[in-house]
Amino acid sequence: MTLLLISNIQAQNIGKVLFSKGEVFFKKSKDSKATSVKKGLSFSDKSIFKTGKGALVVLALNSGSKIKVNQNSQLIVSKEASGLTKGSSFFEILKSKVRKNKKIKYRVKTKHASMGVRGTQFFVSLGNKNDSWMCVNEGLVEVKSKDNKTVLVKEGEGVKVAQTVSDPKPLPWTKRLNWEMVGNEKEIENKVNIEDAYQDLLDQDYD
Amino acid sequence: MIKILTYLLFLSCVQIYAAHVPPIEKNNQQARFKVNSFYKLTDWDTLVFKGDYFKVTDDRDEKSLTFEYRHRIHNNFKIGGYGTYLVGKRYDDDWVKSPTWKWADTQSRSEFLIGANVSYKKLISFVKNSIFELRYTNEHNSRNSHNHSILRPGFTKVFFNQGKALINYYFQYELIIPTNYSDETISEQWIYTGFTWHLSRRFKPGVFVQKGVGKWTTSDEYSRSHTDTYSQDHKYTVLGISLNIYL
């Protein structure tokens, strides 16, 4: 008797889509086919979300944390980390429960930096000059650049990361970011452009 | 009879005096065109190139080209050093007797100025997206060795539309304080007000109005042949167009 064991490995779902607008696609992995996203869709570990022009998607992780992916962005989402490879996203990360005496930090990575967070709300964006920007609305974020410099970014502060990470300071342009994760399209859409980061009001010369 | 003669004598003295001193210039409505270009070398260093054409009166204009280097030493502070090539400017000592008293023709006269400045900018907490600026400049003229300081406080408000800068409104007050010339403590005062439109990241055109008042004080030549002095007003109202280019 031959026993055929058919094992159906079903990836564990780590969250679902709370809100979606415009062209939003997701892939279960790098090599899988992209499918369009709708509200209520469950997604598994290491799913890749991609948004087009004018698009927006809000993801709710099973941990209670939320991620808002802005237009023209790409984000790889897993249970304990995200990788931003294009555009910008907002993160609202709840303090996770202590597990086996280890406190879990959610990590967000770009090609310039790794950010460790626990109980915080922050924004990350890839810039136009081979750099990344990050600012914190609530809580504390540890940012480590590729040259191993580490800074702690507090509420109301932001940093730019390129070859190294800048010292945290208030960034006037981030005051206009829309941090809302829940609501209708008008209430949650963020219209602040990363180009505004390069328009530091105190740095801009007019004469 | 004596009263009439005294009065006629007085009038003739006034007329003679008036012919020897510069005429009062008031409310000339003139034009100015400025081009400013900014090139960011690094996050902290900017090169600035400026061109300025100022139609001061119907028969006089000033043209200048400036090259400046600015360095941001702190979030709120910048320092700069510049050189200006200037053509056509008039000074107190250009009031000469040739053969009658008149202004020398300075339209083709060129000179070189060098200066250094420090500026302080701060966001105004109670007015959204607004900046207070104070700029202090020391300038030296290599042709006539005149030195003066320029103090300029100003206010700029940036209006945004859906997160993008749309238009600036600004107001500035400028004092020119001679340190080794002029009989006046303040030789000129100007106010500037205008709008700059954020047409694109690279091009920002604008319009402005400036009003100025200054004094022509006793020229060297006049003081060599007279014992009295003079201080004559000159006032201007200028409409201007500007263009900022960000390279």
* Residue A176 reports pLDDT greater than 50: yes
Q: Which amino acid is at B88?
A: G
- Kindly tell me if the per-residue pLDDT of A4 is higher than 50: no
∠ Cα B9 B183 B18 (to 5°):
25
Give A39-87 pLDDT, tens digit per residue: 999 999 999 999 999 999 999 999 889 999 999 999 999 888 899 999 9
Planar angle of CA A65, A66, A72, nearest 5 degrees: 150
CB within 8 Å of A87: residues ≥ 6 apart: A51, A69, A70, A71, A72, A73, A74, A125, A126
Among B76, B156, B163, select the one facing A196 at the smallest CB separation: B163
CATH of domain A13-198: 2.60.120.1440
Which chain B residues have a beta carbon less than 8 Å from that of A205?
36, 38, 46, 48, 70
**What is the ipTM, given to two decimal places?**
0.83
Of all helices (H) and strands (E), which one includes residue B141? strand B130-141
Closest Cβ opposite residue A202 in set B34, B48, B123 = B123
Hey, what CATH topology would domain B25-246 get? Porin (2.40.160)
Query: For the whole model, what pTM was predicted?
Result: 0.65
In A52-148, which ranges are E strands? 56-61, 66-69, 74-77, 81-86, 88-93, 106-109, 113-117, 120-126, 132-138, 140-145
Domain ranges of chain A: 13-198
Residues of chain B neighbouring A202 (CB-CB closer than 8 A):
75-76, 121-123, 131
Q: Which residues of A touch B170 (CB under 8 A)?
A: 206
Q: Are B36 and B245 within 8 A, CB to CB?
A: yes
List of chain A residues whose C-beta atoms are within 8 Å of the C-beta of residue B34: 207
Check CB contact under 8 Å for A202 and B168.
no
**Cα gap A144→A149, rounded to integer Å:** 6
List, for residues A99-144, the tens digit of each pLDDT value: 444 555 788 999 888 888 767 899 999 887 788 888 999 888 999 9
* pLDDT tens digit at each of 247 positions of chain B: 777 766 666 655 555 556 688 887 766 679 999 999 999 998 789 999 999 999 988 888 999 999 999 999 988 999 999 999 999 999 999 999 988 999 999 999 999 999 999 999 998 888 888 999 999 999 999 999 999 999 999 999 999 876 678 999 999 999 999 999 988 999 999 999 999 999 988 999 999 999 999 999 999 999 998 899 999 888 889 999 999 999 9
- Whether B168 sits inside 8 A of A205 (CB atoms) is no
pLDDT at A8 over 60: no
DSSP B211-237: EEEEEEE--HHHHHH-SS--EEEEEEE
Say if the Cβ atoms of A199 and B165 lie within 8 Å.
yes
Give the pLDDT mean for A178-187.
85
Q: Which long-range contacts (CB under 8 A, 24 or more apart) does A70-75 make?
A: A70/A190, A71/A22, A73/A49, A74/A48, A74/A49, A74/A50, A75/A48, A75/A49
Nearest CA in chain B to A196: B164
**C-alpha to C-alpha distance for A189 and A55, rounded to whole angstroms:** 9
Question: Which chain B residues have any C-beta within 8 angstroms of a chain A C-beta?
Answer: 34, 36, 38, 46, 48, 50, 70, 72, 75-76, 121-123, 129, 131, 156, 158, 160, 162-165, 168, 170, 196, 201, 204, 242, 244
- Among chain A residues, CA nearest to B157: A201
- Tell me what pLDDT residue A5 has: 32
Average pLDDT over all residues of chain A: 83
- Name the DSSP class of B179: S
Question: What is the reported pLDDT for B56?
Answer: 87
Flag if B46 and A193 touch (Cβ within 8 Å).
no
